[in-house]
Amino acid sequence: MAHGPLTRRLVLRSALATAGLTAGLPRPAHAQAGLRPTAAQTQGPYYPSKIPADADNDLIRVAGRDGLAAGIPVQVSGRVLDTAGRPVPGALVEIWQCDAGGRYHHVSDDGGSVPRDPNFQGYGRTRTDVEGAYLFRTLRPAPYPGRAPHIHFAVRAPGLKRLVTQMYVEGEPANGSDGVLNGVRDPLARAALVVPLRPATAGLAGRFDIVLAAVS
């Protein structure tokens, strides 16, 4: 899939969800000037070496397969803003994460005896709408040895710095010992990476807003 619009099977669902999403989010205003850029995090070793054929914003259903990914579905949404609080339309937002068994869909993750879930994409991408809003349907992130559950994000837009970061789940015990998360020394910047997941119609939902810095 190209870096363009959502696939046809998600257009209506995403449009409706985004309409509800943006209605409840703060509107861009001069009062938001001076927002802190979202803290950068390591890309890690498992960014796809090759973009999968199905790379849309619904990671729990793979094109051509009947089943859904194992695990708890979660809708992750939010807005991409600049430091002046203005929405960033057309930003490319990418996510990747392990499946419910702790396996990344990457050749370097041998995973021992744990098989990969063939019904999980492992990677997805979309573009923000005119309000800077994005939406993914994925899995509640699972732990694997040495790390707290997290979702990797990469965001880029013209005139702004490409950001690679990670989203964590509020209340996870491993957050306190995760070296990557706690490598962000500023408490406010660190807290902005940790997202509460609330019960939703089908699974969970969380909001992760992202602030991009200008190219210096």
User: 133: Cβ–Cβ under 8 A, 6 or more apart, which residues?
Assistant: 18, 21, 22, 25, 77, 78, 79, 87
Q: Is residue 47 part of a domain?
A: yes
- Which of residues 132 and 34 earns the better pLDDT score? 132
CA dihedral (96, 182, 195, 144) positive or negative: positive
Q: Which domain holds residue 110?
A: 8-212
Total domains in the chain come to 1
Calpha distance 30→163 (Å, rounded): 23
- 3-state SS, 107-125, equals CCCCCCCCCCCCCCCCEEE
pTM for the full predicted model: 0.85
**Contact, 210 vs 153, CB < 8 A?**
yes
Calpha distance 201→213 (Å, rounded): 34
Q: Is residue 36 part of a domain?
A: yes
Q: Is residue 161 part of a domain?
A: yes
Q: Is residue 2 part of a domain?
A: no
The CATH number that applies at residue 18 is 2.60.130.10
Q: Is residue 184 part of a domain?
A: yes
Q: Tens digit of pLDDT for each residue in 27-73?
A: 444 334 589 999 999 998 889 888 888 999 999 999 999 999 999 99
Across 18-22, 153-157, 158-162, 192-196, least confident range: 18-22
Beta bridge partners of 144: 147
Distances (CA, A) of 130 to 19, 44, 96, 160: 11, 30, 24, 17
- Which of residues 20 and 57 earns the better pLDDT score? 57
Calpha distance 198→195 (Å, rounded): 10
Q: Tens digit of pLDDT for each residue in 99-116?
A: 999 988 876 666 667 788
Q: Tens digit of pLDDT for each residue in 76-97?
A: 999 999 999 999 999 999 999 9
Residue 191 confidence (pLDDT): 98
Q: Is residue 3 part of a domain?
A: no
Which residue's structure tokens are 């957050």? 175
Residue 2 confidence (pLDDT): 38
Residue 6 has pLDDT above 70, yes or no: no
DSSP state, residue 51:
-
Q: Is residue 202 part of a domain?
A: yes
Q: Is residue 1 part of a domain?
A: no
